[in-house]
Amino acid sequence: MDDSTKRILQRLIRRIPYQMLQTVLGKWAHLSREDLHSLDFTQPKWVLTEHLLALCEEKGLTVKHITELEMIYIIENPNQGMWHGFQLLDAEEDAPSIELTQFKEQFKANLTELISHVSIKIKKHTDEAIWIRVAWGDNFTKPNHLKPTYVVHHLQTPYVFVTGVTSKHKPLLNQALVLATRYGSMKDAHLSGRNLIAIRDLLMRQYQQVFPTKHPKPLQEKNPVPRNPNIEKEQAENTENRLQMACEAFGDGTLPQLQKAVYKLETKFRDNSNKTLTGRGEPFRGVVEFASTNLLESLRHCVSSGMASTPVTPLLSSITQKGRNYFVITDKGV
């Protein structure tokens, strides 16, 4: 192995958590059972890495084989960066009938025609998703395998998920995808996050969206304090209404783990007490961001508990109903 290939392998091993390393290496076709048994996973990671480097060099493995190992790890652990959702538009008649072999040939041919030095690996996952790894170079430099782009596409659907693409390479990638999938164009779905499964489920509407008409009443205390039955009835109805509205807005059951929603304001400033800002010709600009480890669950709880007013504003319910988490608000609307 040359020095650059060794650096790629060393960096990859550093990325893989030690408790996952044995499992990931076990799925790599280039290590035999005897090779795996020769590795001592109780040793410090740097010692194990040196042993693995020597083993790979003895086998004559190349950067092609190392990138296969990286794909195994990324596919099993996709939440490694910021994923962005895209939607393909204007499907041609034969778009629904595209098969994997056709897609691979067309994608590779289209991209290599657009850029000279590029490394492309395509793999079909068990959930029918097509995973693409692209390492970019240019007309004068070799592909940079330390900063690859990953693409996930489900054939026969108009959705694409991308991470690690730069503004320079984005038009090239879009063009290759559009041509290979038999579509006319591709647009930003304004949906992004670190959890690929959540982004996919929101955009492809694959999570539970069955909205119940009734919710179970809260447990009654064994020795309740005497209360006014009319007040209790009204409170129970209010609680049930809030639960209903929360589920109608965000869904029922387990929700996709979205981390944030961003609202970009570009509206005219309205405040009679502030003549300076009100009289400005250009719009008032600002950004509002909601963030949480599970934003949709947090919003649903706020509504159902009465912390947020009802009915739910379309600005929040649009996250699930439109499958996006980036909005631009102008005087004409969202």
Q: Name the pLDDT band for 211 (thresholds 50, 70, 90).
A: very low
Question: Cα–Cα distance between 104 and 92 in angstroms, integer?
Answer: 18
Q: What is the pLDDT of residue 46?
A: 92
Residue 63 has pLDDT above 80, yes or no: yes
Q: Is the dihedral of CA 220, 226, 229, 230 positive or negative?
A: negative
Tell whether 196 and 87 lie within a shared domain.
Answer: yes
Instruction: Let me know: does 113 contact 197? Beta carbons within 8 Å.
Output: no
Residue 218 has pLDDT above 60, yes or no: no
- Give the domain range for residue 200: 83-204
Instruction: Let me know: does 52 contact 30? Beta carbons within 8 Å.
Output: no
Cβ count within 10 A of residue 194? 17
Question: Cα–Cα distance between 230 and 132 in angstroms, integer?
Answer: 62
What value does the CA radius of gyration of the chain take, rounded to a whole number of Å? 26
pTM: 0.84
Tell whether 71 and 108 lie within a shared domain.
Answer: no
Tell whether 49 and 108 lie within a shared domain.
Answer: no
Q: What is the pLDDT of residue 158?
A: 94
Instruction: Let me know: does 86 contact 161? Beta carbons within 8 Å.
Output: yes
Tell whether 249 and 290 lie within a shared domain.
Answer: yes
Task: Look at residues 24, 51, 76 and tell me which one is the last residue of a structural domain.
Answer: 76
Tell whether 59 and 99 lie within a shared domain.
Answer: no
Strand partners, 262: 289, 326
Phi–psi pair at 111, nearest 5 degrees: -75, -40
Question: Cα–Cα distance between 67 and 203 in angstroms, integer?
Answer: 29
Phi–psi pair at 253, nearest 5 degrees: 80, -155
Instruction: Let me know: does 199 contact 193? Beta carbons within 8 Å.
Output: yes
Task: Look at residues 22, 43, 76 and tell me which one is the last residue of a structural domain.
Answer: 76
Asked whether residue 234 is domain-assigned, the answer is: no
Asked whether residue 220 is domain-assigned, the answer is: no
pLDDT digits (tens, 9 = 90+) for 250-296: 877 788 999 999 999 888 877 777 766 666 777 878 899 999 999 99
Phi–psi pair at 198, nearest 5 degrees: -65, -45
The amino acid present at 260, given as its one-letter code, is K
Question: Cα–Cα distance between 309 and 220 in angstroms, integer?
Answer: 26
Provide mean pLDDT across the span 229-255. Answer: 74
Task: Look at residues 35, 53, 76 and tell me which one is the last residue of a structural domain.
Answer: 76
How many CA atoms lie less than 13 Å away from 298 in the CB half-sphere? Answer: 12
Tell whether 127 and 27 lie within a shared domain.
Answer: no
What total number of domains does the chain contain? 3
Taking Cα atoms as reference points, which of 296, 84, 287 lies closest to residue 191? 84
Taking Cα atoms as reference points, which of 178, 176, 248 lies closest to residue 214? 248
